[in-house]
Amino acid sequence: MVSTPSVRVEKHNHGGTPPAIVWLRQDLRLADNPALLSACRRGGPVVPVFIWAPEEEGDWPPGSASRWWLHQSLAQLAEDFHAAGTELLIRQGSSLAELLSVAKATVADAVVWNRRYEPASIARDRKVEAALRAAGLHTEECNAALLYEPWTIQNKAGRPFQVFTPFWRACLASAEPAEPLPAPRRLAAPPQKPTSLPLATLELEPKRDWAAGLRAAWHPGSAGAQAELRRFLQEGLLTYADGRNRPDLVGTSRLSPHLHFGEISPRQVWHAVRLFAESQSIPAAVWRNWQFLTELGWREFAHHLLSHFPRTPEQPLRSSFARFPWRKNPAWLRAWQRGQTGYPLVDAGMRELWSTGWMHNRVRMVVASFLVKNLLVPWQEGARWFWDTLVDADLANNTLGWQWTAGCGADAAPFFRIFNPVSQGEKFDPKGSYVRRWVPELARLPDAWIHQPWQAPPAMLTAAGVELGRTYPRPLVSHLISREVALEAYRGITL
């Protein structure tokens, strides 16, 4: 809940333009930050403020991995603002109360921010905006997170899209995304310096240090985002259509957490791809249809759906799935969470997630399919686990991904599309390199058995030091049998 205290901010004319507050949330960058640039255009001091208010996030406050990332990103952002001439304020508590407090302390006359699209955030922002205006402050809301606002893309009937291909076709037929805005070279600090909390006060980092794998895998912040983008443009973009499916290779951009926290904008990514393509003399008709930009399109589609169907984080879009006979099996769920299912590709993915806060997208589909279709565990359980363990946990993307896999969302995979973890491993991890990295107890198995150790000859298992049921679990379920059980359950809700 957002309280609305009866406060009116007093304005004092000291002969200059009053300061403007920039309320930062998931836009932790200086370049291509429309709210920051809007504040700069007012001509006075700029007061950037981040307010830690997880209780205002509804049922989806940031998970453990997201909190770790946020701490690192805010630390980097504070350095960037300091270098530009002002200081990032850190506050904690009610967003409205803290914004009014900062406005009073700095004699600011405006608060600007970039839009968020989660249902709880939308409701909070509307209340905050009304209260700020009632207090005599100018407000402005900008778009820093998407190429296309959700309400600007509609089908011919004027309704939201529920199928990706026509949605993205409509996006590409719209105006080209605007050029990204430059970072301000210099920011004026307010004459009155308000109080700010030490970042450590927010207690975003874990008290028991389990984040060593995250630190080794990531460099949060806008500089890290730009470095990841440069790496991908030079090493992965031209081979992305095939490389994106190979968890044993570094074939993806790894930009998802940077995009979620707003350390880089989709416009920056879009135009970086454009400039790269132009440097290679690749025509626009070709590069605009590259698979990588299509993946940006899926991110747009996820936010489009969340904006128009705000109940989908908890409820299936296809109402018939409310009757699906899901199973409550805490032991199976725990085995899946810990990478102990007996299916090497599934276990490798879940262990990569636990160690690094991230998982390859192809493997995400496989592990999600296994949970909801082989084990019949509700997709909401998987969504909650991903929410807590992914550094790129994003409500729109998380919801779309899980509903797509479960077959209950927009443009969903047909329910009968049940990924076979063995064949998926053999196709996309043909040498077993990915499994060997994350499931080292199987490392000595030959390629032929690495994805199905239960089929290996006993002598082969012994030679590899594998004892099923002791050093590595037997499969929780038979893929073939559990597939038939799932299909029968699906037929029961469609008759």
Residues annotated as catalytic (active site), given as ranges: 295, 298, 326, 361, 379, 402
What DSSP element (H or E) covers 214? helix 212-217
Buried b (16+ CB within 10 A) or exposed e, 193-220: ebebeebeebebeeeeeebebbeeebeb
Q: Are strands 110-114 and 138-142 parallel, antiparallel or unpaired?
A: parallel
Rounded Cα distance between 428 and 248, Å, is: 8
Cβ neighbourhood burial of 25 (10 Å; 0-12, 13-18, 19+):
buried
Contact 261, 26 (CB under 8 A): yes
Closest to 314 measured CA to CA, from 270, 375, 365, 378 = 378
Range list of H helices, 32-113:
34-41, 64-84, 95-106
Torsion of CA 391, 111, 101, 18, to 10 degrees: 130
Question: What is the Cα gyration radius of the chain?
Answer: 24
CA torsion angle for 177, 364, 56, 131 (degrees, to 10)?
Answer: 10
Length of the chain: 495
What sign does the dihedral 55-60-65-71 (CA atoms) show?
negative
Counting Cα atoms < 13 Å in the Cβ hemisphere of 78 gives 15
Helix (H, G, I), strand (E, B) or coil at 152: helix
Residue ranges in 357-419 assigned as alpha helix (H) = 361-369, 379-389, 395-406
Number of CB atoms found within 10 A of residue 318's CB: 18
Residues ≥6 apart with Cβ < 8 Å to 272: 229, 233
- Other Cβ atoms closer than 10 A to 284: 11
Number of C-beta neighbours around residue 49 at 10 A: 25
Laid out side by side, the sheet with 110-114 consists of 89-92, 46-52, 20-24, 110-114, 138-142
Considering only CA atoms, which of 182, 183, 150 is closest in space to residue 167? Answer: 150
